Structure 1
Amino acid sequence: MSYGYIIRNHDFYLNEEVGIKCRYCPFVQLEIKYILPALDTYRSKRVPKKKMYTSESEFSMWEAFHDVHGNSLGSSVHGKGTVWDIFPQVRENMYQHQQEGFEFLWTNVAGGTEIDVIKKSLHNENIGGCMISHAPGTGKTFLTIAFIRSYMEVFKECRPVIMAPACMLLTWEEEFKKWGVDIPFHNYNSQELTGKEDEVACRMIQGRSHSQKMIRLVKLLSWSKERSILGISYSMFEKDAGEKSVTGKGKKKQREIPYVNKDEEKETKELRRILLEKPSMVILDEGHTPRNSRSQIWKALGNIKTEKRIILSGTPFQNNFDELYNTLCLVRPQFAERFTTGQTSSHTRQNARGVWTSLTNAIGKDNGKDLLEEIRALIDPFVHVHRGSILKESLPGLRSCVVVLRPLPLQRELLEGLKDIQQIFLLEHCVSCVSIHPSLLISCGSSSYENSSIDEVHEEQLSIQQKRNSKSGRRDKIATQENSELLRRYAKDSIDKIKSDEFRLDPDQGVKTRFLMELIRLCEVLKEKVLVFCQYKYPFVLIKGQLKHHFNWTEGEEVLQIIGDYTFNQRQSIINVFNDPCSKARVLLATVGTCSEGINLIGASRVVLLDVLWNPSVERQAISRAYRLGQKKVVYTYHLIAYGTMEEDKYDRQVHKDQLSELVFHGDKEEDPSIIRDDKILEEMVGNKELRSIFKQIHVPAEPDT
C-alpha cells in the first residue's frame, strides 16, 4: 500500500508513474525518467487471461459488463477497532477540521467510525449522502482521497465515481499520483490510455481503431472489473447518462431524440444503465454546479441508484435558497421527508419545496431567527462546515478591498449613453468592458458577446432570459443588430479615436487599465506576481497589448493567459510555469469561468477582479486560487467597481447574498478590528498626485475567516 504521509524514516518502493518514492510521504528519491526502460515491463497483479478475442465477431464489450458487480459492496468488512486503524498515518497528516470531516464522512456514508458498528450498519436507513462544505483552499481533495482509499480498503468491491467540471479532472488525477494512491484512476474524459487499464479490456480492442467511444468503453470496463476509481465530467455524464430528449418549441413538451438504428439504441441505453447503476459511491466536486432542478444534469444525477453521495463545495449557497434546496435534495434525497412527515410520497417533494420556501423567506429579517435555527437543525446532520479558520492560522494573511473608481470623461460619456440599451445581458457586457477601457466598446457592438467566456451561472441565466424574451433565435439576432447600431451612435463623435492603435495602447484612457498597469509596475519592483480575473476574454487582448507595449513583455514568458478554449494540458502547463518562483512569469490573465475553481495559483500574491459578477461565490472561489494552503505570502485582492454604473448595484446584490449564506452556514460574522490591513502598494497609488483623482472610495470589508 502506498500513501503520501510525512514521517521521519523513508520506506522506498517503485511507483511506475513517479519513480522510486517513499511509501509514506511525497519524497521522490529517483524520478522514473532516470530508471532503466526494462522496468517499464513490470506490472503487478495482472488479470488472469480468461478469454482471448481473436475476431470481431467474438468481440462484445457490452457483454463483459454483465459479468462484473461493481455496485455491490459485499461483506468485506474486516477487523476491529476504528476507521483510523485502517491507515494510522492518516490522522497525523490532517488538520483538525479534516479529522472531523473524515469521521463525518464515515458516519454518514458507512454508519459510524467503529468497525463493529459499520458491520451492523450496512443496511441502516440513516446511511446516505452528505456534504463537505469546507472553505476553498482548505484541503477537501486530500480529505476525500484519504476517505476513498480507506473506504475501499474496507469495502473492496466499492466502485467510486468522482464527478467534477472537466477542467478539474486532470487535477484529481495529479492528486492521486501526488499522494501515491495505489488504486488506478480512470479519466473517462481523456482520450489517452494510461497503461493501468484492464488487460482483457485492452485486448478486446486490439486491431480496431481507437475511437473516442472505444477508449471510453475500455476505461469503463476496467473500472467495473478491477478495483479502481472513475473520473468523469458533469457534461460527459449528462451526455452519456441523461435522458435523450429535447424540448420542443412553444408549448410542445419534451420529445425523445430518435436513434439511428437498433444497435445505437441498445448501446446508448446500456451505457446509461452502467453509469447510473454501477457506481457504489458518487463524489460531486464543486457539487453546487448542478443546482438547477430544470437542468438535464440535475435530473440525470437524481437517477443514480446509489444514495452514497458526497458533495464537495466551499460555496454551497450560490444565488438563492431554491438552488440550495436542489443541492441538498441531490446529496440527500430523503431531505424532503425531514419536514413533510405524514404526507403521501406523491405530494412529499412538491409540498416540501413549499415548506422550504416559507421557512427561508423570512431569513435575514427581524422575525427569521427562530426559523434560521430550524433550518440549521435540518441540515447539520449531513452538512459539515468549516469556515477556513485554518487558513487564518496557517497563512501569512488575506487583505481584501473594494476599490470604487471614477470613470474618465470619455468613459463616463459612453457609459451614460449605454443605459438606453434594453437587452440586459448586452448592457451588462458593454458596461463591464467600457469600464475597463473605452476602446473595448468596439468588441461589444457585435453578437459575439454571447460567445464571451462567462461564468456558468450567468450563461444559465442568459439562456433562461432568452427563452422568456424571445420566441425565436431570429428575434435575438435582430435585437443584437439593433443594439449594434445604437452603440455606433453612442460613439459617433469618437469612433475613429477609440479605434486607433495609439488610443488602445494607452492605459491612461481607461480607469481600470490605469489602475491595473500602475499596480503591475509597483508589483514588478517588489517581485510579486499578479493574477487578473475577468468574466470576458476580450479585455485580455487589450491588456496583453498594453503590457507588451509599455513593459516590453512577451506572451508566454512574462505574460500568461488561460481562457476557455485552452486544453486541460495547456492550462496545467501554464499553471506550473506561473507557480514556479524561478520563472519569468509576472502576470496571469484568467477568465473566471475557467480558473475560478479547483486549481492552485499560489504563485500570485496580488489578485485583481476587473468586473463584478452576480454570484459572489464565484469571486470568492477565484480569490481562493491564490489564498489557499501552500501560500507563502500575504495575498492582497482588489475588487474594481466603476462608480455610477450598474456594477455598484451588482455588488450590493453580492453583499446581500453573502449575508444570507453567512447566516445559514456560519451564523453572524464577527469583525476583528485588531487586524491591520497594510498595503504599501495601494498606499503608494493613493498618495500619487497623478492617480489620486481616480479613487472615489476604498472599502475594506470585515476580515473573512477564509
Structure 2
Amino acid sequence: MLRHCKKRGEKERGGKRPKLDLEMVSALQTPLSCPFRVPFLNDSPSTSRTPRTVPPLCRRSVSAVPIPTVTDCAHENVIKKLLARPFRVPIPGYTGGCSNRLLGLRMSGVRLSLHDPYAENALVVFAPPELSAHEQLKLDDTKREVHVVVDPLLCAVLRPHQREGVKFMYDCVVGKRVEGHNGCIMADEMGLGKTLQCIALMWTLLRQSPQAVPAINRCIIVCPSSLVKNWDKEIAKWLHGRVNSLPIDSGKREDIIRNLKQFVSQTGQRVPTPVIIISYETFRLYTDILHEKEIGLVICDEGHRLKNSDNQTYQALSGLKCARRILISGTPIQNDLFEYYSLINFVNPGLLGPAQEFRKRFENIILKGRDADASMEQQQLGEQKLQELLGLVTRCIIRRTSALLTKYLPVKYELLCICGFTELQEKLYRTLIRHMDSEIRRQERSKGGVNNNTTLAFITNLKKLCNHPQLIYDKCHAKEAGGFADCLELFPAEFSTKKAFDPSQSGKMRVLDYLLAYTRRNSDDRFVLVSNYTQTMDAFEQLCQLRKYPFVRLDGSMSIKQRSKIVEKFNDPKSECFAFLLSSKAGGCGLNLIGANRLVMFDPDWNPANDGQAMARVWRDGQKKACFVYRLLSRGSIEEKIFQRQAHKKALSSCVVDEETDVARHFSLDQLKTLFEFNANTASDTHDKLKCKRCFLGRELKDPPEDADTNSDLTQWHHSERDFGKVPDQMLKAVRDCAPDITFVFHQKSHDGETNRLNSPPADNGKGRRDGAEEEDRESEGEETVEREEKGREGKERRR
C-alpha cells in the first residue's frame, strides 16, 4: 500500500523528486528571536550560561540580605507619630466593659446586663454579690446573675429623691426589705413625682431581672377615672413609645371585654401590650376576667380609696393574683389608724396580723396616748406602741415631704384667714343652731336617740350659710323643717336669688371679691377657686360674671375629654382666663394647674386629705412664680371646728407616717364634739384652743423657730391679729385695710426665697403705674447727674 502511494505521488509530480532549499533549511535550524527585544549589555553569543547556585535559608547571612530604604521622610515621620501614641478611652475614669459588649449581638450562653452599670449617672437597683476568682471559675455562665440598671433614658430625668424611691420600691417588690412580702406604699406628698418613680419601676421590671430576663410580663395600673388618660400620657412622655399601654375606662361593654381578654391571654416574656390603665369602677365590674391569670405588678394610684377593707373595690383588688403591689397615696392616714391598717394589709397581707388584734395591740392604746387629757402613763405606753408600729411599717412605706420641692420650685405662702360674719349671717346662724340644739335634746329624750342623718344635713346647711346666705334662701323660702321657717323673716325684703349676685352679704365672699379685684388690678397673677359645693361654684360664676372676669369651670358634670381641654386652655400662657373654678371632689386629684399661682380654698372638708390634694394643684413642677394658697374660715363657726378636727387627724398622720414624735396635743375629744357652739367674741376660736404662748394681747411677741416643721402644727406658724406687718402678701394687706372682715391670719412659707416681683403694694393708677414711676425716677436721677457734670466743667474753666 505504501509503495502504491509513493508511486502515485511520483506520477503526479511528473516522476521527479523536488530539490531541497538550503537557505530555508538553515533558517529553520536557527532559533527565533523577537525583533523588538533590547539586548542586555552582558549578552554575548560567545559566552555560555552557567547555572546559579542558591544557598539554603539556614546558611544565609542576615546582613547579606538587602533591605529596601524609605526615601519619603515625611511619610515615615507621620507613621512614627501615630504609633508612638497608643489609644486611650477619652472618658475620664471609664472602666466600662468594652470587651464584653458586642454590636447588635449577644454571646451565646453568657448573661449580660441590659444597660451598662458602670456608666455615668447609672442607677443600679440590683448588683450581684462579689465572687472570688475561684468561685467565678466554678460558676456556670448560664446561671450568673447580672446587674439590674434603670434605663438611662429615665436616669437622665430622675431627681435624687426619685432615684432613692425607685430603689426602695424595687427592693420591696422583690422581697428584699420584708421577707415573704412584695408590697410597698409610695406615700410621698403631692408634687414629688410619684408617677414618674412608678413608671421607672414598671419599665425596669418589664425588661430586666438578675436572671437577664424580664421580671414581669404584665402590669395593671388602677386609678380614678379622671386620671386614666393622664397616666397614658405620662407613660408616653417618659418612655417615648417604648411600651404599649392601653387605657380602659369608657366605651362599649363588648370592646372592654375583648381588650381585657386579649390582655390576660398574652403569653411569653415579651408581650405586645404589657400595660393596661383602668379605673377603679371598671376594674370592679370586670374582676372575673382579670382574676383569671396571674399579673406581674399592680399599681393603685390614689390608693387611699382602699382605706375601707369591707368595700367591693378593696375586695376585688385583693382577689387579684398578684404578689407585687404598689399603692400610691400622699395621704395614707386620713381619719384613723384602722384605715392605715387596711392599706398595709392590702400591699402586704398578714404583716400586721388580724384586724381585731391590730385594734387591741396598737390602735386603742395609741389613740388614748394622743388625747390631750391622757395621763403620763397613757402617753408613755402610747408612744411605746407607736414606735413598735413604726418598726413594722417603715420597712414597706416610703414618705418624703414637700420640703424637697424647695430645691426646684419657687416659694409658697400658706395663709389661713379667719373671716367674720356679716350681720345677716350671724342672725341666721344663731337661729339655726338654737333650733338644732333643741332638736338634739328632744331626740336624746326619745327612745330612738339622735338621728345622724338629720345632724349631717344640718351641718351641711351651716357650712353653706358660712359661704353665703343665698345658698339656704330657697330652703327658708320653702319653710322647710330644721328652723328655716324662722329664718325667712331675717332676710331683707328685697333679697332674691333671681336678682344680681350680692357678694357683700357674706364675710368670706366679700374678702374674696376684694382679693380678686386687687390682684386683677395690680398684677398678672391668676386664681384657682375651690369649693366642695356646686352651689358655691355657682356663686363664684356669678361673681366672675358680675366683675367681668374671664373664667373656666370644672365640675363633676363634665366628661374626661372636656376636663382635659379646659385644663390645657387654662394653662396656655396666652390664655386670658383669670379664674379657674374647681370642684374639689371632681378635680382635686391629679390636675396640674400651673397656669395660676394663687389658690383659694373657700370651704373645708372633713377629710384633710381632700383639702390637701386640692391645694396642691398650683405648686407643682413647671411653676415659675411664687404661690399663694388661701384658706378662708368663718370665725367661731362650724368651719373652725372642722378645721380643728383636720388638725387632729393630720397630727396623727404626722406621728405614724412622718414619724414625728413632738406634735402637740392641742384638742381633746370633748372639745372636738362641741361642733354647734358659736363664739363671736374671739378673733379665732382655733388660736384660743392652741393655748399659744408666743402671743399676748393680739400680738406675736416671739417668732416661731426657723427650722420648724409647719406641716401639721399651727403653733409653729406666724400669728397675726392686730399687727399685719409680717403678713407676706401685699394683696391681703390691702384687703385688710379696706375690709375689717379678716380678724386673724395664720401664715407660713415653704422656704426662703425671693417673693414674686408682681406681689407689690397696690399702686394709684392700676397696672403699669409702678413701672412708669420707676422710669421717671431713673430719668430724674440721670438729669441730676448731667447737671452735676456740667457744673463741674464750668468750675474748671473758671479756675483756668
1:516 aligns with 2:576: no
1:163 aligns with 2:169: no
Contact 1:322 1:357 survives alignment (8 Å): yes
Who wins on radius of gyration, i.e. which is larger?
A: 2
Pairing of 1:25-174 with structure 2 (within 5 A): 81-84=146-149, 86-111=150-175, 125-154=179-208, 155=214, 157-174=216-233
SS at match of 2:291: helix
Tell me which residue corresponds to 1:545: 542
- Determine the structure 2 residue equivalent to 1:414: 428
Q: Which residue of 2 aligns with 1:187?
A: 247
The answer to whether the aligner puts 1:305 opposite 2:305 as a matched pair is no
Asked whether the equivalents of residues 602 and 631 of structure 2 are also in contact (C-alpha less than 8 Å), the reply is yes
The one-letter code of the counterpart of 2:205 is Y
Residues 576-608 of structure 1: per-residue CA shift (max 9 Å, x gap): 111112101110111111111111111121111
Aligned to 1:355: 361
Q: Distance in 2 between matches of 1:78 and 1:183?
A: 28
Aligned residue number for residue 706 of structure 2: 673
Identity %: 24
The 8 Å contact of residues 662 and 669 in structure 1, kept in 2 or not, is answered as no
Q: Name the aligned partner's letter for residue 224 of structure 2.
A: P
* Mapped partners of 1:433, 1:589: distance in 2: 17
1:334 partner SS: coil
* Superposition deviation, residue 564 in structure 1: 0.7
State the distance in 1 between where 2:643 and 2:475 align.
Answer: 22
**Structure 2 residue corresponding to 1:273, chosen from 291, 312, 315:** 291
Distance 1:78 1:175 in 2: 36
**Hey, what's the Cα distance between the residues in 1 that align with 2:513 and 2:337?**
40
The counterpart of 1:394, out of the listed 399, 403, 408, is 408
Is 1:534 paired with 2:531?
yes
Q: Which one-letter code corresponds to 2:640 in the other structure?
A: E
**Contact 1:223 1:230 survives alignment (8 Å):** no
Between the aligned partners of 2:495 and 2:171, the Cα distance in structure 1 is 62
Quick one: which amino acid aligns to residue 143 of structure 1? Q
2:417/2:742 contact within 8 Å kept: yes
Aligned CA distance change for structure 1 residues 668 and 152 (closer, same or farther; 3 Å): same
- Counterparts in 2 of 1:247-326, with a 5 A limit? 269=288, 271=289, 273-274=291-292, 277-326=293-342
Normalized against structure 2, the TM-score is what? 0.61
Q: Tell me which amino acid in the other structure corresponds to 1:187.
A: P
Partner amino acid, structure 2, of 1:516: L
SS of aligned partner of 1:283:
strand
CA deviations over 1:410-436 (Å, ceiling 9, x no partner): 111111222234622222221222212
2:429 and 2:388 map into 1 onto residues whose CA distance is 46
In 2, Cα distance between the equivalents of 1:633 and 1:620?
Answer: 20
Q: Give 1:361's aligned amino acid.
A: L
Give 3-state SS (helix, strand or coil) of 1:131's partner: strand
Which of 718, 735, 744 pairs up with 1:697?
A: 744
Residue by residue over 1:649-706, the C-alpha shift from the partner in whole angstroms, topping out at 9 and shown as x without a partner, is 1111111111111112221579653897611111111122xx0x2112112258599x
Equivalences for residues 424-573 of structure 1 within 5 A: 424-442=455-473, 483-484=480-481, 486-494=483-491, 497-502=494-499, 504-525=500-521, 526-550=523-547, 552-553=548-549, 558-573=550-565
CA gap of 1:157–1:351, structure 2 versus 1, over 3 A, is closer
Report Cα offsets for 1:74-110 as digits up to 9, x if no partner.
Answer: xxx99854332x4134333211211111111111112
- For residues 600 and 506 of structure 2, the distance between their equivalents in structure 1, rounded to whole angstroms, comes to 16
Q: Structure 1 pair 87/108, CA: closer, same or farther in 2 (3 Å)? A: same
Go from structure 1 to structure 2 and tell me whether the alpha carbon gap of 1:213 and 1:484 turns closer, same or farther (over 3 Å shift).
farther
Task: Measure, in 1, the Cα distance between the counterparts of 2:513 and 2:243.
Answer: 48
Give the AA of the match of 2:646.
Answer: Q
Shift of 1:227: 3.7
| Equivalent position amino acid for 2:291 in 1 | R
1:236 and 2:274 correspond: no
2: distance between equivalents of 1:592 and 1:78? 54
Q: 1:562, 1:571 within 8 Å by CA — same for their partners in 2?
A: yes
C-alpha spacing 1:679/1:378, structure 2 compared with 1 (3 Å): same
CA distance in structure 1 between the partners assigned to 2:285 and 2:489 by the alignment? 47
SS at match of 1:607: strand
Partner-residue secondary structure (3-state), 1:322: helix
SS of match in other structure, 1:544: helix
**Structure 1 letter corresponding to 2:154:** V
Compared CA separation, residues 218 and 294, structure 1 to 2 (3 A): closer
Counterpart selection for 1:214 from 246, 255, 272: 255
Q: Work out the number of aligned pairs and report it.
A: 517
SS in 2 for 1:400: strand
Alpha-carbon distance in 2 for matches of 1:444, 1:569: 35
What letter matches 2:345 in structure 1? C
CA distance in 2, matches of 1:634, 1:498: 40
Give the conservation status (yes or no) of the 8 Å contact 1:443–1:538: no
Residue aligning to 1:682: 732
The alpha-carbon distance between structure 1 residues 278 and 309, as it changes in their structure 2 partners (threshold 3 A), is same
**Deviation for aligned residue 1:370:** 2.3
Superposed CA offset, 1:633-659 (max 9, x none): 111111111113111111111111111
Distance change >3 Å, CA 150–CA 507, structure 1 → 2: same
2:220 & 2:479 partners in 1: Cα distance? Answer: 48
| 1:664 aligned partner, one-letter code | V
* 1:561 partner amino acid: R
Structure 1 position 484, deviation (Å): 4.6
| TM-score (structure 1 length as normaliser) | 0.69
Instruction: Return the alpha-carbon distance in structure 2 between the equivalents of residues 379 and 528 of structure 1.
Output: 43
In structure 2, the partner of 1:455 is none
CA drift of 1:510 comes to 1.4
**2: CA distance, partners of 1:79 / 1:508:** 76
Q: What is the aligned partner in structure 2 of residue 469 from structure 1?
A: none
Aligned to 1:652: 644
**How far apart, CA to CA, are the structure 2 residues paired with 1:166 and 1:624?**
19
CA change 1:595–1:353 in 2 (3 A) is same
Matched, 1:175 2:214: no
Change (3 A) 1:90 1:413: same
What SS does the corresponding residue of 1:323 show, helix, strand or coil?
helix
How far has the Cα of 1:330 moved from its partner? Answer: 1.0
State the SS of the aligned residue for 2:351. Answer: helix
| Pairwise CA distance, 1:291 | 0.7
Give the C-alpha shift of residue 127 in structure 1: 4.0
Question: Which shifted more, 179-188 or 378-387?
Answer: 179-188
Contact conserved, 2:205 with 2:216, CA < 8 A, in 1? no
Shift of 1:364: 2.6
How far residue 441 of structure 1 moved from its aligned partner, in angstroms, is: 1.0
Counterpart-to-counterpart distance in 1, 2:581 and 2:180: 47
Within 2, Cα distance between the matches of 1:150 and 1:663? Answer: 33
Partner of 1:45: none
- Matched-pair contact (CA < 8 Å) for 1:433–1:444: no
